[in-house]
């Protein structure tokens, strides 16, 4: 197979996987959103309604904790099949992540149509799931939202279905709840998070943890990825997934990102001055930050302020963020490369860029998305090996994200993947613990 044929085959596979959940084969959130947009457009023309059902498995975490993730994964697959059997061909069951599913019902006449589907799904779960000798009983909490009754915009309908599901879970589980206006008190909670983020910036409640990047051949630490955490006053740690989308919506993503970059550069310089062999410090940059008018100026100022040699800094960009305003992006990235900053593309394979288009950008590192790495043990081997080969052909360093098992490590090593990161190789840790790791390596 020629490199062009391999790239074409890979692009086709990645296009499918970018829109489907790896575990269940169901459409993912991106594809569901596309279909929801189309369904709303049709409903407007035909005077119909569209229903969304947010579905959450009750106490699913207990299954994972007591029987293991392998059993939990099989349970999710079994639940997905039963849910699909409850809907029409024109409808969609999607998995949005974890134990959450979203069901799209197109062109419904009234609320009762959606309620009947919810009842049908709950009844379908009454029979136990037989998995690895276990009889597993599952119940569902379901939230229902209608277009145009509960919202005329895609995000509003999605958010209201999610809110209704939360109320179903709060009121005892194993039931469905229809959205109503009184549930909008959740907006108060959202406002509280926004205020909390402002306070966190002012009171220095944000901290960075560092996950090692490891040379898969030698086992040596070759760098660190700086990962944001919110250290609450009660000492609980919040992860980015819990607050970054809110930060973006309320205009705080740029100042938070600026803080992350400044702190990561300061810490990296401190380690280097202590004689620790850090390698590169990697910082994630969102599309919003990248296209902020002051981004380039801020990066240069922070490097000067910290004293960090630009060659030790690597900026990680999301694949789709890279594609926004490609001409402007290229100018910014070339300016950064000219002073020595490295550029990485992470979550590679989940977006919409072609390998050919990717070559237009000054990219040093290609990070294979964790979903492909985790799929190595099932159907992902050919995808991962092809990305590694193409990365080498393009003279890009290839890093595997989300390495969690010995099998994945052995596969990546045997296929000459340069580096990896993930819980098998090292979990994110506080700065003091990471410094100890670097000091141990020095000896």
- What is the per-residue DSSP string for 220-289? -EEEEEEEEEEE-TTSPEEPGGGTHHHHHHTT-HHHHHHHHHHHHHHHHHHHHHTT----EEEEEE-HHH
- Does 419 lie in the same domain as 286? yes
Cα–Cα distance for residue pair 232/234, rounded to 1 Å: 5
- Identify whether residues 147 and 60 lie together within a single domain: yes
Q: How far apart are CA 247 and CA 67, in angstroms?
A: 36
- In a shared domain, residues 269 and 345: yes
Does residue 330 sit in the same domain as residue 269? yes
How far, in Å, CA of 276 to CA of 225, rounded?
16
Whether residue 330 is found in the same domain as residue 421: yes
**Given this model, what pLDDT does residue 96 score?**
87
Give ∠ CA 202-263-279 in degrees, rounded to 5.
165
**What pLDDT sits at residue 118?**
96
- What percent of the chain stands above pLDDT 90? 58
> Domain boundary residue among 132, 151, 186?
186
Tokens 């009983």 -> residue:
137
d(CA 54, CA 177): 10
| Domain shared by 164 and 113, yes or no | yes
Q: Are residues 222 and 79 in the same domain?
A: no
| pLDDT of 69 strictly over 90 | no
With a cut of 90, say whether residue 11 has pLDDT above it: no
- What are 272-287's pLDDT values in tens digits? 999 999 999 999 999 8
Question: For residue 248, what is the domain's CATH number?
Answer: 3.20.20.450
Q: For residue 238, name the pLDDT band (cuts at 50, 70, 90).
A: confident
Q: Which helix (H) or strand (E) holds 51?
A: strand 49-57
Is position 383 within any domain?
yes
Higher pLDDT, 54 or 391: 54
pTM above threshold 0.85: no
Q: Phi, psi (5° rounding) for residue 137? A: -100, 130
Residues 353, 291 share a domain: yes
Please say whether the beta carbons of 142 and 165 come within 8 A: yes
pLDDT tier at 70 (50, 70, 90 boundaries)?
Answer: confident
205 and 339 share one domain: yes
Give the C-alpha separation, 19 to 254, whole Å: 28
pLDDT at 398: 94
pLDDT band per the 50, 70, 90 thresholds, residue 350: low
In a domain, 15, yes or no: no
> What CATH number does residue 174 fall under?
3.30.70.270
- Of 147, 94, 91, 140, give the one whose Cα is nearest residue 120: 140
Last residue of a domain, one of 186, 211, 234: 186
Show the DSSP H helices in 28-153 as ranges.
29-46, 60-67, 69-84, 111-124
Judged by average pLDDT, the poorest of 135-139, 255-259, 376-380, 383-387 is 376-380
Domain that holds residue 84: 22-186
Q: Which residues, in sequence order, are bridge partners of residue 229?
A: 207
Dihedral sign for Cα 292, 360, 12, 414, please: negative
In a domain, 10, yes or no: no
Q: Is residue 7 part of a domain?
A: no
Position 17 in a domain: no
Best CA proximity match to 154, nearest among 48, 61, 41? 41
For residues 163 and 204, state if they share a domain: no
Domain count, the chain: 2
Do 101 and 134 share a structural domain? yes
Q: End of a domain among 136, 162, 186?
A: 186
3-state secondary structure of 193: helix
Q: Answer yes or no: is pLDDT of 393 > 60.
A: yes
- Is residue 53 included in any domain, yes or no? yes
Closest by Cα among 431, 10, 393 to 224: 431
Asked whether residue 14 is assigned to any structural domain, the reply reads no
In this structure, the number of other CB atoms found within 10 A of the CB of residue 434 comes to 24
pLDDT at 3: 64
CB 380 within 8 A of CB 350: no
C-alpha span between 374 and 22 (Å, rounded) = 9
Q: Are residues 236 and 181 in the same domain?
A: no
Would you state the pLDDT for residue 7? 63
- The answer to whether 252 and 311 are in contact (CB under 8 A) is no
**Quick one: average pLDDT of 148-176?**
87
Cα–Cα distances (Å) from 397 to 108, 142, 221, 366, in that order, read 50, 45, 15, 6
**Least confident span in 141-145, 332-336, 388-392:** 388-392
In this structure, what token pair is assigned to residue 437?
């790791």
Does residue 95 sit within a domain?
Answer: yes
Relative to beta strand 365-368, strand 134-136 is: unpaired
Judged on CB neighbours under 10 Å (0-12, 13-18, 19+), 185 is exposed
Q: Is the pLDDT of residue 2 over 80?
A: no
Rounded to an integer, what distance in angstroms lies between the CA atom of residue 19 and that of residue 355? 18
């Amino acid at each position: 197979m020629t490199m062009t044929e391999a790239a074409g085959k890979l692009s086709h596979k990645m296009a499918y996987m970018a829109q489907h959940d790896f575990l269940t084969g169901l459409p993912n959130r991106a594809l569901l959103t596309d279909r929801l947009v189309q369904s709303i457009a049709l409903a407007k023309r035909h005077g119909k309604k569209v229903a969304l059902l947010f579905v959450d498995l009750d106490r699913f975490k207990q299954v994972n904790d007591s029987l293991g993730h392998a059993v939990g994964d099989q349970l999710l697959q079994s639940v997905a099949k039963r849910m699909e059997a409850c809907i029409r061909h024109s409808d969609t069951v999607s998995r949005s992540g974890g134990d959450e599913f979203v069901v799209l019902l197109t062109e419904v006449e009234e609320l009762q149509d959606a309620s009947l589907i919810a009842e049908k799904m709950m009844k379908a779960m009454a029979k136990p799931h037989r998995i690895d000798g276990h009889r597993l009983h599952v119940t569902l909490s379901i939230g229902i939202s209608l277009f145009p009754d509960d919202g005329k915009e895609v995000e509003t309908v999605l958010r209201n279905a999610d809110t209704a599901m939360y109320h179903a879970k709060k009121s005892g589980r194993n039931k469905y709840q229809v959205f109503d206006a009184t549930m909008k008190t959740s907006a108060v909670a959202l406002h509280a998070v926004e205020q909390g983020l402002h306070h966190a910036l002012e009171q220095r409640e944000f901290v960075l943890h560092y996950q090692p990047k490891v040379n898969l051949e030698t086992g040596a630490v070759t760098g660190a990825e700086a990962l944001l955490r919110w250290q609450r006053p009660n000492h609980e740690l919040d992860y980015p997934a819990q607050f970054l989308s809110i930060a973006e919506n309320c205009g705080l993503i740029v100042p938070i990102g600026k803080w992350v970059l400044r702190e990561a550069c300061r810490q990296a310089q401190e380690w280097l001055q202590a004689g620790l062999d850090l390698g590169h410090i990697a910082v994630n940059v969102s599309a919003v930050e990248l296209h902020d008018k002051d981004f380039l100026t801020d990066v240069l100022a922070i490097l000067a302020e910290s004293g960090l040699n630009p060659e030790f800094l690597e900026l990680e960009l999301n694949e789709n963020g890279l594609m926004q305003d490609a001409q402007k992006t290229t100018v910014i990235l070339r300016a950064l490369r000219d002073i020595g900053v490295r550029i990485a593309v992470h979550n590679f394979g989940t977006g919409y860029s072609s390998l050919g288009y990717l070559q237009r950008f000054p990219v040093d590192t290609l990070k294979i998305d964790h979903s492909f790495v985790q799929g190595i043990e099932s159907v992902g081997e050919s995808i991962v090996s092809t990305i590694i080969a193409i990365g080498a052909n393009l003279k890009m360093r290839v890093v595997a994200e989300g390495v969690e098992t010995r099998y994945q490590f052995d596969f990546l090593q045997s296929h000459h993947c340069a580096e990896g990161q993930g819980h098998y190789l090292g979990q994110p840790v506080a700065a003091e613990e990471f410094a100890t790791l670097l000091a141990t390596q020095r000896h």
